Amino acid sequence: MPAKIRPAKTRQALLIIDVINDLDFPGGENVLPWAKRMVKPLSAARQAAHHRGIPVIYANDNYGHWHSDFKEVYQHCIRRGARGREVATRMRPTAKDYFVLKPRHSAFFATSLKPLLEFLKVEKLILTGIATNLCVLFTAHDAHMHGYEMMVLSDCCAAESDGDHNLALDQLHRFCGATVCLSEEWRSSLNRGNVPKKSRPGK
């Protein structure tokens, strides 16, 4: 029997968007090198979240597999020949992590994310994932509409190009009110017991 889920002691959650991804879409070949570079800092951010008792939530596209659960989606993304296989394998969720499957860009649209965040008493979202200018941005827009405080870890997001990535970071800051910083700054803030105050769009 699964362990009983308990509300988190912290008010923030690390949201990992579409990282379990086969990258089998037009432009996916351009995202791949950025996604590979993202894995190391994102893994460190996830480890820091685990250490601090911060919930880690995977929000992932169902890729049109409406009868699938998260395990089947994961297997689909690590199949032989899948472009995103290496990234998905390295970012495989742990038993500690939560997940929601989403049918569209936003992690809030037609998913259980909002009630999960309410149950965990989350007030602040730490956003990461693929792609900065699509699913991360759309999720941030909905999070802003729901009144969540947000931080975007710029080195834990990936897009097709630096231009797309940096433009999205600027929009996340300007229009969604998100603080943009490097993952190392966020991890350091956890040790200091405060948060980065400076918004820094761009890598």
Render pLDDT for 100-142 as a digit per residue (tens, 0 to 9).
999 999 999 999 999 999 999 999 999 999 999 999 999 999 9
pLDDT for 200 beyond 60: no
The pLDDT tens digits for 40-62 are 999 999 999 999 999 999 999 98
Per-domain residue ranges of the chain: 12-192
pLDDT of residue 192: 78
| 124-130/98-102 β-pairing | unpaired
Of the chain, the end-to-end C-alpha distance in Å amounts to 44
Tokens of 191: 């040790």
Distance CA 103, CA 110 (A): 7
Q: For all residues of the chain together, what is the average pLDDT?
A: 91
Strands (E), 31-88: 56-61
Beta bridge partners of 14: 56, 126
**What CATH number belongs to 12-192?**
3.40.50.850
